[in-house]
Structure 1
Amino acid sequence: MNEKPCKKGELRPVMFAGTGSDVGKSLIAAAFCRIFRQDGYQPAPFKAQNMALNSYATPEGYEIGRAQAVQAEAAGILPHTDMNPILLKPQSDHTSQIVLNGKPFGTQKAYDYFRKEGREELREQVHRAYDRLAKRYSPIVLEGAGSISEMNLRETDLVNMPMARYADASVFLVADIDRGGVFASVYGSIFLQTPEDRERIKGVIINKFRGDLRLFEEGKRLLERLTGVPVLGVVPYVDDIVIDEEDSVALVSKKKTAVAGKTNVAVLLLKHLSNFTDFSRLEHDTRVHLFYTDDVQEIEKADVIIVPGSKTVVADLCELRRNGCAQAVVRAHERGAKILGICGGYQMMGQRIKDPHHTESDVEMMPGLGLLPIETTMTKEKITRQVRFQGVWDNVSADLLSGYEIHMGETVFTEQGASPMNHICTEDGMLAEGCMATATCMGTYIHGILDNAAFIDYLIGKGGDAGSNAWDEDYQTLRNRQYDRLADHVRQHVDMERVYEILQGKNR
């Protein structure tokens, strides 16, 4: 393998690849974006192809994976589609919507997508995005996807070792010791590579370690002898650093039941739940116990019920009726619980959903929950934009709040005099958005509305343990503090001197 030499003061691109999914690649990449920024570089994240239902709207109004938006924020730069040129948004077990350079490109079955036909055109798009990014930032912090040793997908892979070769990146392999089998996963991931790709792997980072780090010293030596690759660090598991998560796998570890003594907020656990990062701030509010559920009995214990976003609104609405959750939400509303719908959940709360173009399904009309005087018609075009808005619910402050929209569908009132929930600031004035049927029943298209303390106070009240609520500080200040904490944590447990030697092209 012939690596290009680095110019003085420059760092070569680095890829954080994984032994599998959910090993912590995204957070490790975010940590290094922050570290490089702190050390005077101008890093930018890049993931050629991302599969996730958590997405984000760029300032230009395009859609990328949430993880790359988080990494960009950690790097101190604005998110851009070049950081994630291909986003796959699963619509079923076998199909995904393809978002190319921030805009919907079509829907394909997994088998068809991973065929050789057409892959080179996508690869060219990925390479162009990377090249544009590399002209503006250095180093580029690439993230792999899933496992780097999926041999059956090697010829059509766009995101792992083929991308590392194109970028001439040094690869650091991230392994999750918490799930077990770390020796086999590291050894296998390295030795299933071609000789050329194996040589490109410059270091191993063991992630999510629990216990006394001294107990793994012999493990480090064994791995280095077995693989010939240095173990650059063993990073302990932490659960008090709050960074938005990308993968829906994270939902498995979320709370599922109500508790006594706090405001219970239930998020309906939809099969195709999207943008669960909407609830990150609320989840860590000390006044609140937030949990995810599709259990009717747990829904009945909730003080606030949130019907979240969904990639397949009609299918998830059908499932809510089948499992009894739809009826439970209506009963909860009747007894006085607050109900909030966000994006797809807002659409579900209306009188009906129409899909004349079969955008989502073959069902042309589906009755909604009947909680809001609205109806939605699915459209072929997707609305993606950042917004500034004022809440109709807020009788105190005229300050503009922030959020973003990512949805397909146009929603209108079905009754004269129906009230909007918010007013969006546009060049043409204030535009009505969402619907507020009562003080306890409302819906909006705005993701991130729950990042605003004013709305949280309205939703759950200002009482309770507000005085000890660490999330009362400015949200952007808090997020930056979390990135700094993550960077400090990784610095403490990774040999950064050796990392810089590798990225400067010195012998490892």
Structure 2
Amino acid sequence: MIPNRRLHPVMFAGTGSDVGKSIIAAAFCRIFRQDGYHPAPFKAQNMALNSYATPEGLEIGRAQAVQAEAAGIECRTDMNPLLLKPSSDHTSQVVLHGKPIGNQSAYEYFRKEGREELRKEVCGAFDRLSQDYNPIVMEGAGSISEINLRDSDLVNLPMAIHAGADVILVADIDRGGVFASVYGSIMLQREEEKKHIKGILINKFRGDIRLFEPGIKMLEELCNIPVVGVVPYYKDIHIEEEDSVALQTKSMQAEQGKVNVAVVLLRHLSNFTDFNVLERDLRVHLFYTNNTDEIMKADIILIPGSKSTLADLYELRRNGAAQAIVRAHREGATVMGICGGYQIMGQEVCDPEHVEGDIERLPGLGLLPVSTSMHGEKVTKQVEFTFKDGSDICRGYEIHMGFTSVVKGEQISPLNFLSDGRTDGYYMNSTCMGTYIHGILDNGAFIDFLLQPFASKMEKSAFDYQAFKEEQYDKLADHVRKYVNLPLIYQIMQGND
């Protein structure tokens, strides 16, 4: 291996959604960095509510921000030039180069008209990125064999062909049908596309790998493509998830000796990674719920961000969770809202211009004396700040629509003081507050501030989350190194152009 030698880009494409492409890509970002290269992640098109603000104040998918962190570099929009943020079952906000350009239905988005303009944009982003980094670790989206969408595909094999990338096909053996999914995914490709598929990686294996060795030979004979690794399922490595599908499985039973924190499970919950640090904090037991009885058992109730604040506020009122939050606060629980959750905690949320949908106004929870109006451009910005009564410099980021102001006659009481002179949020008291800043709970000083009213319950001390994340990236890289044929992957990426 020669670190200064140019490697082909590598794309981790999938036989389906949730096969582990994002995590495998993060692992190789760290592996290449450890081996002396200067890698960067790239995903032409991502669909996720979990997003992040770049240093320039632009928006990308959180998964690419995590992969950039694993690579040891700052994230930028060229790593994820096109982001789709679902706002309903049929409509998404389209974010191009970090800025929203409108809402489109799935039918409108995937039609052929105008597709080449988007293709030109994502290919340009890749070309710029490849000038600065080596190698580019690319990620596909969903399945590579959605042949009904082949002509409008911007992110899988057409992108690999433009990049001259070597494709590693990732399959999830845990869900079953791995032979059919791998063979079928390859056979449904056109001949030009098949040429780019250079390896097969079996992911999430359980049991004795030796029992699968005959299967490896069968796959290689069927597909005429080498199996470059069989990576076992793991439980002791913690990397930020791209999707929130597993949140409801988190334990909801209150625990003794810990501060019990309930994150309200909104239908359009976004940026759920805001709570990763609390989830790992040994002083805290964190769970996700919209059950009224479980909300009442919490010491702290966190209302998260939402892509559709009014729709989620309506649902909270319909299912009784809104009333439970207010009652729990009255009985001593702390309530804190982040972004959309902050808006929900106010007196009202208005949408006179129908930015989010058909609902023009809903009363909020009435816990904070603020009012929100949904209009204006989206704010995306990394920020530094100090919080109420705090002297530590903290960091986070803003991604939100709408403007929140104190209602007439009420006292101004900001929670945070930003380095650019602005203020943020509202501080009622130590048990009632709201903020627009995502990542506020990544700051140990702010967590200590939030947990202070419950100091008598805590038996453990805090931990260093940044050091923890670095340790997890190294553990992930070690795990993947152990079970893939890395010399073969390097050989593939150094092959003849």
- Structures share a fold, TM > 0.5? yes
For residue 401 of structure 1, what is the aligned residue in structure 2?
A: 394
For residue 211 of structure 1, what is the aligned residue in structure 2?
A: 207
For residue 444 of structure 1, what is the aligned residue in structure 2?
A: 435
For residue 223 of structure 1, what is the aligned residue in structure 2?
A: 219
Does 2:40 align with 1:47? no
Runs of 4+ with >6 A deviation? none
Contact 1:22 1:249 (8 Å CA) reproduced: no
Contact 2:426 2:433 (8 Å CA) reproduced: yes
Distance (Å, rounded) in 2 between the aligned partners of 1:184 and 1:250? 26
**Percent identity over paired residues:** 65
For residue 493 of structure 1, what is the aligned residue in structure 2?
A: 483
Does 2:65 align with 1:32? no
Does 2:413 align with 1:419? yes
For residue 3 of structure 1, what is the aligned residue in structure 2?
A: none
Q: 1:464 to 1:153 in 2, by over 3 A?
A: same
Match of 2:450 among 451, 459, 474: 459
Does 2:383 align with 1:387? yes
Q: Is 22-31 or 198-207 further displaced after alignment?
A: 198-207
* 1:369-384 equivalences in 2 (<5 Å): 369-384=365-380
5+ long unaligned stretches in structure 2: none
1:213 CA displacement:
1.9
For residue 126 of structure 1, what is the aligned residue in structure 2?
A: 122
* 1:234-383 equivalences in 2 (<5 Å): 234-383=230-379
Match of 2:425 among 421, 429, 434: 434
1:463 CA displacement:
5.4
For residue 476 of structure 1, what is the aligned residue in structure 2?
A: 466
1:124 CA displacement:
0.6
Contact 1:376 1:409 (8 Å CA) reproduced: yes
SS in 2 for 1:460: helix
* 1:156-195 equivalences in 2 (<5 Å): 156-195=152-191
Contact 1:418 1:437 (8 Å CA) reproduced: no
Distance (Å, rounded) in 1 between the aligned partners of 2:4 and 2:39? 16
Contact 2:248 2:288 (8 Å CA) reproduced: no
Match of 2:79 among 78, 83, 99: 83
Contact 2:430 2:450 (8 Å CA) reproduced: no
Amino acid at match of 2:495: G
Contact 2:257 2:457 (8 Å CA) reproduced: no
SS in 2 for 1:135: helix
SS in 1 for 2:36: coil
Give me the CA root mean square deviation. 1.7
Distance (Å, rounded) in 2 between the aligned partners of 1:365 and 1:373? 16
Match of 2:151 among 113, 136, 155: 155
Amino acid at match of 1:434: G
1:93 CA displacement:
0.1
Aligned residues: 493
Amino acid at match of 1:496: L
Distance (Å, rounded) in 1 between the aligned partners of 2:484 and 2:253? 37
Contact 1:258 1:301 (8 Å CA) reproduced: yes
Q: Provide, for residues 125-150 of structure 1, a one-character-per-residue CA deviation record: whole Å limited to 9, x for no partner.
A: 11111111111111111100001010
Contact 2:369 2:406 (8 Å CA) reproduced: yes
Amino acid at match of 1:401: C
SS in 1 for 2:377: strand
For residue 14 of structure 1, what is the aligned residue in structure 2?
A: 10
5+ long unaligned stretches in structure 1: 1-5
1:261 CA displacement:
4.5
Q: 1:257 to 1:359 in 2, by over 3 A?
A: farther
1:484 CA displacement:
1.1
Contact 2:54 2:75 (8 Å CA) reproduced: yes
1:208 CA displacement:
1.1
Distance (Å, rounded) in 2 between the aligned partners of 1:342 and 1:7? 43
Distance (Å, rounded) in 1 between the aligned partners of 2:445 and 2:195? 53
Contact 1:349 1:443 (8 Å CA) reproduced: yes
Amino acid at match of 1:413: V
